[in-house]
């Protein structure tokens, strides 16, 4: 059979059918910077579908930091961190982030996705087990496949199932429990206190993917562990620069020995070019702003709660959480696509989430918010959401 037959089947079937229906919801083009309002396909649009949680992508200090780094270091590093690609600003970013997160050391990666690949594939070997929440990010699953460890999955946030999986592993094996801190589709926060307790009981290590937790949770924005007061109980933090820190890249924070081990054994780290100078500088400046202005974290929580209340009082069914991710059910995949189209026509952008990313019959609109959104923008967005949900027959 021709290797490319699957491509023909997919494109000629599902993909072309969706495009011909006029409901294709992906790859919309922006002609402005990422902000609370953008120009998308020539139209002013309220953006409630990005992960620009602290609103720093348009901050003048962040932009200026990137420009200055371009002038000093050029456009790229032309090599791996392992060899010729380490700049002084890479080292400074790692020191600053380690200090902020109260960990001994940090190693940075070129993307967030690559961070999970690089951490998990290096840490977990043939004699080890990775115990993974079923709703963890796709990069965690790919990382498990890249490692030589055996992966066990537990039902989402089901601590009884987690313990059942842990109890099935012999004492001669190393165990890594991996969980999202904030689950990216639902906005739910993991049950970290219970996970830590079980990890101690069964001699496991704990890794938290805090891509959606940094800058979002905790009094100072340090993430899920700070939120629960468990910063000393999490062995590995993973996070990204592409969300709250308004840049591109990712990191691992852990003990110095664990970080040094990953630096010298992680193939995705060793064989990838290092983060570009401008991206490093933008992440550093964003971190500086977060440290000196933690009120942005509170502003994010406040605007998210304002929007939650706005939707509740209008009778919109949402997945309840306390994070800036507010999913809204459409149930049917086609209705999710239609809702996105109708909302965009009304100047509001949201993300569709359909099966298999959600269970069949539980399609939703993933909305997410920014510290610099205004109440007026939220009111306009809520009006549009209610109008569209009524049109598609969900309300």
Catalytic residues: 184, 212, 243
Check residue 273 and report its DSSP letter. Answer: B
Q: What is the CA radius of gyration of the chain?
A: 21
**Three-state SS at 339:** helix
Neighbours of 293 (CB within 10 A): 14
Return left, alpha or beta for 215; rule: phi > 0 is left, psi -120 to 50 is alpha, else beta.
left
**Three-state SS at 354:** coil
Q: Where are the alpha helices (DSSP H) in the chain?
A: 5-10, 16-20, 60-73, 88-101, 112-123, 138-146, 159-167, 192-202, 224-228, 256-265, 267-270, 277-292, 295-313, 333-345, 375-391
Taking the C-alpha atoms of residue 282 and residue 224, their distance in angstroms, rounded to an integer, is 23
Closest to 347 measured CA to CA, from 21, 49, 26, 23? 49
* Phi, psi for 237 (deg, rounded to 5): -105, 135
What kind and span of H or E run contains 366? strand 363-368
Closest to 350 measured CA to CA, from 371, 360, 335? 335
Maximum CA extent, the chain: 60
Query: For residue 49, with 0-12 CB atoms within 10 Å meaning exposed, 13-18 middle and 19 or more buried, which class applies?
Result: buried
């Amino acid at each position: 059979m021709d290797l490319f037959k699957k491509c023909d089947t997919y494109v000629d079937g599902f993909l072309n059918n969706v495009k011909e229906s006029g409901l294709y919801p992906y790859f919309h083009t922006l002609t402005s910077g990422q902000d609370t309002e953008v120009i998308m396909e020539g139209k002013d649009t309220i953006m409630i579908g990005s992960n620009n949680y602290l609103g720093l992508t348009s901050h003048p200090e962040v932009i200026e930091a990137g420009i200055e780094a371009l002038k000093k270091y050029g456009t790229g590093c032309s090599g791996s961190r392992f060899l010729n690609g380490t700049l002084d600003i890479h080292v400074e970013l790692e020191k600053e982030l380690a200090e902020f997160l109260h960990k001994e050391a940090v190693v940075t990666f070129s993307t967030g996705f690559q961070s999970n690949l690089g951490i998990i594939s290096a840490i977990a070997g043939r004699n080890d087990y990775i115990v993974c929440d079923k709703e963890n990010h796709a990069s965690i699953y790919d990382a498990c496949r890249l490692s030589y460890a055996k992966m066990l999955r537990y039902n989402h946030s089901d601590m009884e199932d987690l313990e059942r999986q842990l109890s099935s592993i012999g004492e001669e094996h190393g165990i890594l429990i991996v969980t999202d801190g904030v689950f990216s589709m639902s906005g739910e926060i993991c049950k970290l206190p219970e996970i830590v307790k079980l990890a101690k009981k069964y001699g496991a290590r704990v890794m938290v993917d805090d891509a959606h937790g940094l800058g979002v949770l905790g009094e100072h924005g340090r993430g899920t562990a700070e939120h629960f007061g468990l910063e000393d109980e999490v062995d590995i933090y993973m996070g990204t620069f592409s969300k709250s820190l308004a840049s591109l890249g990712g990191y691992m924070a852990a003990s110095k020995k664990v970080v040094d081990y990953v630096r010298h054994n992680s193939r995705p780290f060793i064989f990838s070019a290092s983060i570009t100078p401008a991206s490093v500088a933008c992440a550093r400046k964003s971190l500086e702003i977060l440290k000196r202005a933690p009120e942005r974290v509170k502003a994010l929580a406040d605007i998210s709660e304002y929007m939650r209340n706005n939707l509740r009082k209008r009778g919109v069914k949402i997945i309840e959480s306390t994070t800036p991710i507010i999913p809204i059910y459409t149930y049917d995949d086609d209705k999710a696509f239609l809702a996105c189209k109708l909302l965009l026509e009304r100047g509001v952008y949201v993300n569709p989430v359909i099966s298999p990313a959600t269970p069949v019959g539980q399609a939703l609109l993933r909305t997410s918010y920014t510290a610099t959104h205004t109440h007026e923008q939220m009111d306009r967005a809520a009006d549009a959401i209610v109008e569209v949900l009524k049109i598609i027959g969900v309300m």
